[in-house]
Structure 1
Amino acid sequence: MDVGASLTWTSPALPYLTSENSTIPLSNAQGALLAASSSISGIIALLMCPLIMDQIGRKYTILVLGFIQLLSKICIYVAHNYTFLFILRLLVGVGTTGMIAFLALYIGEIAAENIRGRFLILNKICVNLGSFLMAIAGAFLPYNPMNIVAITIPLIAMLLFPIMEETPYYYLMKGQEKEATETLTKLSGEKSVEIVTANIERMKSAILEGQNSKKSSFRELFSDRSSRRALIIKMIKKFLATVVHP
């Protein structure tokens, strides 16, 4: 929901910020750049998060992203100049893009196969709910109360998310099979030791296959014709979404 609210924030905020009543007067060009800033900085998150998620875990990576979101929203509430606001929106881009990419990974690693799709769909529904909530807040509330609503969403998430479990995949990557087994048993509610053990072995095989293919995956992004085309299409799509419809 915080991702959706963050992506929609500029729609209700820019009419105020570019108006005569704004405490941070912006030109139309500055407003457009402010709207596009989060898409630009999202590249940083996509480069940064893979480096830290295997070091500190999926759960704590999401908590770091959530803290970035919460801190940036609080600072936006007290921001009084364009430069500071622009930097904060860059931080928001890091948090939202990282969350879009790696919350889905987290869900995929903790959810059983028969319900994984439902959680991923619910994830997308929550993004839309967050967008709707921010649009409603912007329509009926002044600028500062609207920002308080924006702060509330990541605050609730940060208070609740620590009760979540780390993923069994991460524990297995670190050689902590006992913790992985305990976590998988708790997440699945499965009481059969044989079934849990079989799932653990399947995860270990998947991790081993991933490690064997990791060395060539980045090179194949450019050398493989289909992957290269997909990369070009994705870059064009992102460019158009940023420039044409900031």
Structure 2
Amino acid sequence: MMFQSWFCRGNVVQYVAAISGALSIASYGMNSTWMSPFLPYLLSESSIIPMNSDEAAWCAIAPLIGCIFGALIGANLTDRIGRKYTILIMAPVVFICQIGIGYATDVWYLFALRMTIGVTDGACLTAMPMYVGEIASPDKRGFLSSLVCLFFLCGALLINTLGSFFSIWTCSIVGACIPAVHFIGFIFMPESPHFYIKVKEYQKAERSLRIFRGDSNVAKELRCSKIQCDFKKRFPQFT
């Protein structure tokens, strides 16, 4: 009972949801800077993925190309299936692509895999800040929102560190573990209450808000969120 009471007061669910969700951004950090530690090897004669400098340049920008399409896909999916599931369904794609990178022997196969991960990155970068902003209480919103940037930097640092000591295959396995952990942890997190309000599922919105606030008395915040959502629908020019 004491632990349950502390758990509710501390709003730990908000932290767990934000951290487990932000792991998807760590995958983006790894993918976007993946070429940095491996570029000298990939351009060498001993490379298992032979490429010239032009092909290496295309591989380097592949995630950015994918991000453009991913952002558009993410913007569409967040209002259709919700913020949580938009983020969640990207994890299996990243997992498969990371395993594929470990076995890549062709430069354009590598390009396609990295661009596909870039698509998921763009979707997650669209949905994740939205999700965190909607689940976080005002006094925690700033810190929790900063986790998106923090986990991106951690992912970039991780791949640059590992890539200096280990092979592409080993790093791809580590890269695949991150979306796996993200999926296992994030699947148990509630959907954003704001999304439920948007689709007029008010009972689910109240239940979600109670979990994130650790409080059964959320009627006032729920009412304010509903008013805000209705205002945005009626007067989109002011939002």
Aligning the two structures, in what range does the TM-score lie when normalised by the shorter sequence?
0.7 to 0.9
Are residues 32 and 180 of structure 1, via their aligned partners in 2, closer, same or farther at CA, if it must alter by over 3 Å?
same
Check the 8 A contact 1:16/1:143 in 2, yes or no: no
Q: Which runs of 5+ in 2 are unaligned?
A: 1-25
One-letter amino acid of the counterpart of residue 63, structure 2: S
Mapped partners of 1:156, 1:115: distance in 2: 24
TM-score where L is the length of structure 2: 0.84
Q: Tell me, yes or no, if the aligned pair for 2:79 and 2:195 is still in contact at 8 Å.
A: yes
Q: Give the unaligned 5+ runs of structure 1.
A: 221-246
Asked if the contact 1:168–1:183 (Cα under 8 Å) also holds between the matched residues in 2, the reply is yes
User: AA paired with 1:189?
Assistant: G
CA contact (8 A) 2:71 2:125 kept: no
Q: Distance in 1 between matches of 2:88 and 2:65?
A: 22
- 1:185-228 deviation per Cα after TM superposition (whole angstroms, max 9, x unaligned): 1110123x3xx1111111111211222344x59xx9xxxxxxxx
Deviation track 1:24-43 (CA, whole Å, cap 9, x = no partner) reads: 10101100111111111211
Do residues 15 (structure 1) and 23 (structure 2) align? no
Q: Which has the higher contact order (CA 8 A, sep 6+)?
A: 2
2:17 aligns with none
* Aligned residue runs from structure 1 range 45-84, under 5 A: 45-84=70-109
- Whole-Å separation in 2 of the counterparts to 1:61 and 1:142: 32
Q: CA deviation at 1:153?
A: 1.3
Give the drift of 1:14: 2.1
1:95 is matched with which residue? Answer: 120
Q: Moved runs in structure 1, 4+ residues, more than 3 A?
A: none
SS in 1 for 2:164: helix
Q: Does 1:208 align with 2:230?
A: yes
Between Structure 1 and Structure 2, the one with more helix by share is 1
Normalising to structure 1: TM-score of the pair? Answer: 0.82
Count of residue pairs the alignment pairs up: 214
Question: What is the RMSD computed on CA atoms of the aligned residues?
Answer: 1.7
Identity rate, percent = 29
